[in-house]
Structure 1
Amino acid sequence: MKPPIAQRRPSQRLLHGVTVTDDYAWLKDEKWQEVLRDPSLLDPDIRAYLEAENAYAEERLGPTKELQKTLVAEMRSRIKEDDSGVPTPDGPFSYLWKFREGGQHQLIGRTPRGGGEMQTILDGDALAKASDYFKFGGTRHSPDHALEAWSADLRGSEYFALRIRRWNTGEDLPDILTETGGSVVWGRDSSFFFYVQVDENHRPLKVFRHRLGTAQADDILVHEEKDIGWFTHIGESASGRFCVISGGDHDTTEEWLIDLSVPDAMPRLIAPRETGVRYSVADRGDELFILTNEGGAIDFKIVTAPLAAPERANWRELVPHRPGTYILGIDLFAGHLVRLERANALPSIVIRDLATQAEHTIAFDETAYSLDMIGGYEFDTTVMRFAYSSMTTPSEVYDYDMATRQRTLRKRQEIPSGHDPAAYVTTRITAIARDGAEVPVSILHRRDLVRDSGAPLLLYGYGSYGMAMPASFSANRLSLVDRGFVYAIAHIRGGSDKGWSWYLDGKREKKTNTFDDFVAAGHALIEARYTSTGRIVGHGGSAGGMLMGAVANRAPDLFAGILAEVPFVDVLATMLDDKLPLTPPEWPEWGNPITDEAAFNTIRSYSPYDNVVAQAYPAILAMAGLTDPRVTYWEPAKWVARLRATMTGGGPVILHTNMGAGHGGASGRFSRLDEVAIGYAFALDTVGLAGAKP
């Protein structure tokens, strides 16, 4: 079967003296907003093309069908099907989630605080029966424990409908709020709550107060962001006293507090926005604790301020800035301040007794590992919760008494089919980038791996938005490692793995550092004898998919294959389209090519779609979602069309579009495995291991 050939329908645009020609712009449905709400409205010509691509993908990946089934069975065998979370206490109850045997979606419920049978308030499996796609948004019980606010997305387009359910009857109230961000913050008397509504372009700009028993049309607008380049989110403050409205882009933030005990209270600004200054607020009585980069604190510091006068002039330093030690976040309790830090891509948790100011640290000894703080509902407690894992060690959840320093294991991730951490090795090497930067690379392989054997290697990367890639455990990737793959994570610039400056060195005019770092990581792995040239499969998703497109253009010979999930590859056209949901908020990350000629030239110089050239390319699998509001389906579709029309050899180039899902792929914990298996089967087939046994 020959691959589909997309029609060329050239459109041209003159910008900054440059004529940009796009042969495949027609693949963008002009009614894309309507398609997000109702996929059946997709233009018939575009649907026919995407379905032809899916048919080609089915045929081309057909020889791996049995392998895919085997991979799904393996990955499913590592999932504890009747799994449950650690109950989180709040007053007379402990709230938790669980799965039933064979269930795809969570059950949400609670037990009496001292233990007992779980009362289920939300049955995800039952709710999912009404649609092909189902994903919970936020769920949150009311302060009086009588109601549960819950939301769900039925398209994959991240439009969440909010409902309120009674705990005593299991019935929903008549209140239904549509096109929301999915989460709520309850008022203290449980008669009202706040939520964010997205606009016609899927942007979260407005915060409303909803009073139970009233229509959505009657909700009170309490905050509206006028800058379409800012996102707006809400959450509860540390003490539960306030609703925190957080606004910001990738450079700047601003926060407001609303007193939840006053039904008609309006937001109060903490400190006005100042370009380049980021801050977030936690409260403790009449004192605020603020995490900020103000004053040149690139890796952030913690200051305090009086609640009555929170403006910047009253900020007082508590934890000073230490270059290279990035403070990711803080949790505040009645008597303790907890901060999560990371230095040289290794995290630690630091606890400060607020009465004595004494500090101690929780850290681990492995070469590469992941730590995460897990928030709870209660403020006046000495117990905090965290999760630990490494690339060899399944996740462990601990309760930690901050006063006694006693650590209690509450849950260890079970692998029903068995897992022996001693059979694997996790280690780390350093790659030297073109400009001399030292790039950490975390590695997982079987202990019996023979170096110098030219083993295949999957190299994962992201490198955008300051998001670090943790060296955490994944049961799925064992299906590759057990078949002889080395699995590696490149902690490249654009992420914050080595601090906020590591992020700043991989954005805007420095974006190409991200790509150079990834290629350097590949070469370092070859030099360290973990793999060889042409045996690497690159893997990235979303902005990591942009990375995949860029390195395929720049270093095609390094790779056997490229696995690009929901890849952000049409960077220039997307950043020129200010109607798309994420474009204005993304300008601080990439630059605004509409008004800034230098940004236009920079983006145009690396945008994967715009830099496809006549050369041989490795095998490429691009995976997309029709209702994806973040990376729209037409980006990978256009990229694949241009690759096929331009490349001189190599391949194949395959496009697989999920016609019933968005950015996160299929809903349901087992359905998602089908898509993982497609990608892994592609990787195995690309390096000649489709028939390999674990």
Structure 2
Amino acid sequence: MNDIPSSPPRAAKRPHEITRHGHTRNDPYHWLRADNWQEVMRDPSVLDPEIRAYLEAENAWFSAQMADTEKLQEKLFAEMKGRIKEDDSSVPAPDGPYAYAVRYIEGGQHPLFVRQNRSGGEETILLDGNALAEGHAYFKIGGAAHSPDHSRLAWAFDDAGSEFYTLHIRNVETGEDIADVIPDTSGGAVWAADNTHLFYVRLDANHRPSKVFRHKLGTAVTDDVLVYEEADPGFFVGLGATRSHKFILIDCHTHETSETRLIPADRPEAEPVLIAPRRDGIEYYVDEAHGTLFIRTNSGDAKDFQILTAPVASPSPENWRPLVAHVPGRLLLSHALFAGHLVRLEREAGLPRIVVRRLEDGEEHEIAFAEEAYSLGLDPGYEFDTTTIRFAYSSPTTPSRIFDYDMESRARTLLKEQEVPSGHDPAKYVSRRIIAQAPDGEEVPVSLLYRADTPLDGSAPCLLYGYGSYGIAIPAGFSVTRLSLVDRGFIYAIAHIRGGKDKGFAWYEEGKRAKKANTFTDFIAAGEHLVAEGFTKRGQIVAHGGSAGGMLMGAVANMAPDLFGGVIADVPFVDVLNTMLDDTLPLTPPEWPEWGNPVESAADYQTILAYSPYDNVTAQAYPPLLAMAGLTDPRVTYWEPAKWVAKLRDTKTDDNILFLRTNMDAGHGGASGRFDALKEVAIEYAFALKVMGLTDKAPLPAV
């Protein structure tokens, strides 16, 4: 494998017939799916040697063909790293006598979890991620939750990228972990009020979060009490707590249905109380204040959600009463309760806003923002009895700003502005939103970022990003990485396509299941509009998406290959039909509401078959393509991009470059270190510049 390969690897083709609903397909690359994939998630060394050899051969081909960009990758990495304040920290979040924060040290790849007494004194390092990561090729801290009395810290880590987290409990005073070690968790934990019991979710052998356990400090993990077990493999289980700290929440959910149970935090051994039984298509999310539940739900045809109330003592739906009405097109994204206020984050006309409601008299006001396109995040913090909330604001041209906001005085205090050490002048960049028309007449918003001196005569290359699934909206926020393309003359565009909730819940519904094709045609329409309006030309657009957005990349590459000059697909979900037919995989049953259930439904089978990128690879010319994968990825298994690339290489009729790069030490999120992650972005941007013939183009100065 040390020799420079002279030709790309060719995966062996072995007949493998699959028959469903009277239809037979041949999958000649099925053998790339390891039979022992569950073991590989925990221990990559047990991967079948033949499969490993193929993945490593693809990696070697990638390295050889991208060798001419190595200096460019180093330059891109240095640029992006230079825009990050290395010794940075979050704004400390107060909780009782302490304030908690996450910070980084210069050169450090991993976070430090710290706290300081609010009355003064030296900082205490609760967790040193850099020290903990030593000796690990991959290391990620999943969560860190301090006990109510601040004496303990429940924290978890994953050292394989497979998202099996091992939970530890640390004595804050001594800095040592106690003997209690809990494997195979989802990464988080919730403390009971007694500081002795904590709750966690355990993953099963197929990586599904299905069981909630209660652990008592100092006892054997084998004695942990099973509090709740989800029998339906289509539902995932999560844990949380009300902001009042009075209740622990057990949440069971799919992408379109949920139900919640309450456990009094001061009675951890009590049986969970069901608020409302699950009903298909109905979601509800709960918080509590002063004995009243505040329930954000889409029940009662409230497609964009409403907020109802109910007494904690009798929480069933017949006692739900309206508080915040449903307004079509105004999507209620989240809500948070404080002793005297209800705060909600909502989106209307594609833009977010924060609305504050005083509980005493119902008076409401909105926190206003000046820019036409921006991103907004609400951080409720730890404290309940406070009039202060915290939010983060940014735009494509404006670095992130953290504010504290007093809900009574309405005073806004800037706490921190994201530093760009290498310099950044927002005036040198332009942020716009244009509208593309989809084939069915729908208006698709497209956010743009480019330098003010970029010629808008069609000569500029464009990177067009898209996702369009699970109702996830792509915010118009600030990014230090994309400036490396923009400073080299790229227009950076985000297509806010159907399948997300950028324009409300209906925008999501119009891009899922039987209507999934709208996601793909919206993205193509965005690209065509950029050409028609003279921003760029056909063949000068590099399409980019990851995970379900990687499925989008595979679909549009099949449907409109001549529109794109390159395609970058991160951990791409491209083998959709085979994955949705395999109910042993971690995400398959919970994903059926999103994509359809081809196991039981012939109609769903045909719908997915019609667009599944792997199944629709055809003998035609394809644009240059880069697929990025992770060996221990439990979400999009490594064999999906591997099979896709193998089939493309065997089928396509062009000589354009085609790469598969598999991170053999990571999973869905790629490299775990903050700087190692930038190296993967540098690879993708070097690929984009390579296919546009711009590897020698120097960036214009930012300031």
TM > 0.5 between the two?
Answer: yes
Structure 2 residue aligned with 1:569: 574
RMSD: 0.7
Question: What is the CA deviation profile of residues 108-156 of structure 1, one whole-angstrom value per residue up to 9, with x for unaligned ones?
Answer: 0101113443110100000000311100001011011111110000000
Structure 2 residue aligned with 1:313: 318
- Residues in 2 aligned to 1:389 and 1:10: alpha-carbon distance in whole angstroms: 52
Deviation at 1:344, TM superposition (A): 1.9
AA paired with 2:454? L
AA paired with 1:637? A
Question: What is the CA deviation profile of residues 306-356 of structure 1, one whole-angstrom value per residue up to 9, with x for unaligned ones?
Answer: 111111111111111111110000011111111111112111101101112
AA paired with 2:239? I
1:144 aligns with 2:149: yes
Structure 1 residue aligned with 2:223: 218
AA paired with 1:416? P
AA paired with 1:26? W
Contact 1:347–1:363 (CA under 8 A) maintained in structure 2: no
1:92 aligns with 2:90: no
AA paired with 2:114? G
Structure 1 residue aligned with 2:675: 670
Contact 1:147–1:164 (CA under 8 A) maintained in structure 2: yes
AA paired with 1:518? F
2:602 pairs with one of 575, 581, 597: 597
Deviation at 1:269, TM superposition (A): 0.4
Runs of 4+ in 1 over 3 A off after TM superposition: none
2:277 pairs with one of 272, 280, 284: 272
Contact 1:159–1:178 (CA under 8 A) maintained in structure 2: yes
Does 635-644 or 115-124 show the bigger shift? 115-124
Structure 1 counterpart SS, 2:679: helix
1:446 pairs with one of 442, 451, 458: 451
Structure 2 residue aligned with 1:630: 635
- Residues in 2 aligned to 1:118 and 1:621: alpha-carbon distance in whole angstroms: 45
Structure 2 residue aligned with 1:512: 517
Structure 1 residue aligned with 2:52: 47
Contact 2:374–2:395 (CA under 8 A) maintained in structure 1: yes
1:687 aligns with 2:692: yes
2:383 pairs with one of 375, 378, 385: 378
- Residues in 2 aligned to 1:85 and 1:117: alpha-carbon distance in whole angstroms: 17
Deviation at 1:453, TM superposition (A): 3.8
1:187 pairs with one of 178, 192, 195: 192
- Residues in 2 aligned to 1:197 and 1:204: alpha-carbon distance in whole angstroms: 6
1:417 aligns with 2:413: no
Aligned residues: 694
- Residues in 2 aligned to 1:69 and 1:223: alpha-carbon distance in whole angstroms: 50
Structure 2 residue aligned with 1:402: 407
1:80 aligns with 2:103: no
Structure 2 counterpart SS, 1:670: helix
Contact 2:458–2:531 (CA under 8 A) maintained in structure 1: no
AA paired with 2:453? D
Structure 2 residue aligned with 1:299: 304
Do the aligned partners of residues 638 and 146 (structure 1) sit closer, same or farther apart at CA in structure 2, a change above 3 Å counting? Answer: same
Do the aligned partners of residues 525 and 115 (structure 1) sit closer, same or farther apart at CA in structure 2, a change above 3 Å counting? Answer: farther
1:462 aligns with 2:467: yes
Question: What is the CA deviation profile of residues 671-694 of structure 1, one whole-angstrom value per residue up to 9, with x for unaligned ones?
Answer: 111101000000011111111100
1:644 aligns with 2:649: yes
Deviation at 1:375, TM superposition (A): 2.5
- Residues in 2 aligned to 1:529 and 1:353: alpha-carbon distance in whole angstroms: 49
- Residues in 2 aligned to 1:539 and 1:155: alpha-carbon distance in whole angstroms: 26
- Residues in 2 aligned to 1:337 and 1:130: alpha-carbon distance in whole angstroms: 46
AA paired with 2:422? S
Structure 2 counterpart SS, 1:326: strand
2:242 pairs with one of 234, 237, 241: 237
- Residues in 2 aligned to 1:25 and 1:15: alpha-carbon distance in whole angstroms: 16
Structure 2 residue aligned with 1:58: 63
Unaligned runs of 5+ in 1: none
1:174 aligns with 2:166: no
1:206 aligns with 2:206: no
- Residues in 1 aligned to 2:517 and 2:169: alpha-carbon distance in whole angstroms: 47
Structure 2 residue aligned with 1:483: 488
**Counterpart mapping for 1:239-388 below 5 A:** 239-388=244-393
The TM-score, its normalising length taken from structure 1, stands at 0.99
Structure 1 counterpart SS, 2:416: strand
AA paired with 2:388? V
Contact 1:3–1:53 (CA under 8 A) maintained in structure 2: yes
- Residues in 1 aligned to 2:12 and 2:380: alpha-carbon distance in whole angstroms: 51
Contact 2:69–2:695 (CA under 8 A) maintained in structure 1: yes
1:583 aligns with 2:585: no
AA paired with 2:161? G
Deviation at 1:478, TM superposition (A): 0.3
Deviation at 1:286, TM superposition (A): 1.1
Structure 2 residue aligned with 1:4: 9
Structure 2 counterpart SS, 1:386: strand
1:619 aligns with 2:633: no
Does 562-571 or 453-462 show the bigger shift? 453-462
Structure 1 residue aligned with 2:28: 23
Question: What is the CA deviation profile of residues 196-227 of structure 1, one whole-angstrom value per residue up to 9, with x for unaligned ones?
Answer: 00000000010000000111110000011100
The TM-score, its normalising length taken from structure 2, stands at 0.98
Question: What is the CA deviation profile of residues 650-685 of structure 1, one whole-angstrom value per residue up to 9, with x for unaligned ones?
Answer: 421100000000000001101111101000000011
Structure 2 residue aligned with 1:471: 476
- Residues in 1 aligned to 2:356 and 2:642: alpha-carbon distance in whole angstroms: 49
- Residues in 2 aligned to 1:650 and 1:497: alpha-carbon distance in whole angstroms: 38
Structure 1 residue aligned with 2:113: 108
Structure 2 counterpart SS, 1:617: coil
1:554 pairs with one of 533, 556, 559: 559
Structure 2 counterpart SS, 1:616: coil
Structure 2 counterpart SS, 1:637: helix
- Residues in 1 aligned to 2:516 and 2:569: alpha-carbon distance in whole angstroms: 19
2:138 pairs with one of 133, 151, 157: 133
1:607 aligns with 2:604: no
- Residues in 2 aligned to 1:477 and 1:114: alpha-carbon distance in whole angstroms: 41
Contact 2:462–2:541 (CA under 8 A) maintained in structure 1: yes
Question: What is the CA deviation profile of residues 82-105 of structure 1, one whole-angstrom value per residue up to 9, with x for unaligned ones?
Answer: 000000000100001111111000
1:155 aligns with 2:166: no
AA paired with 2:405? Y
Contact 1:618–1:650 (CA under 8 A) maintained in structure 2: no
AA paired with 2:554? G
Contact 2:564–2:623 (CA under 8 A) maintained in structure 1: yes
- Residues in 2 aligned to 1:566 and 1:59: alpha-carbon distance in whole angstroms: 21
AA paired with 2:514? E
- Residues in 2 aligned to 1:334 and 1:498: alpha-carbon distance in whole angstroms: 32
Deviation at 1:240, TM superposition (A): 0.8
Structure 1 residue aligned with 2:398: 393
Unaligned runs of 5+ in 2: 1-5
- Residues in 2 aligned to 1:57 and 1:130: alpha-carbon distance in whole angstroms: 27
- Residues in 2 aligned to 1:543 and 1:268: alpha-carbon distance in whole angstroms: 35
Does 62-71 or 364-373 show the bigger shift? 364-373
Question: What is the CA deviation profile of residues 562-593 of structure 1, one whole-angstrom value per residue up to 9, with x for unaligned ones?
Answer: 00000000000000000000000000000010
Structure 1 counterpart SS, 2:175: coil
- Residues in 1 aligned to 2:120 and 2:619: alpha-carbon distance in whole angstroms: 65
Contact 2:444–2:495 (CA under 8 A) maintained in structure 1: yes
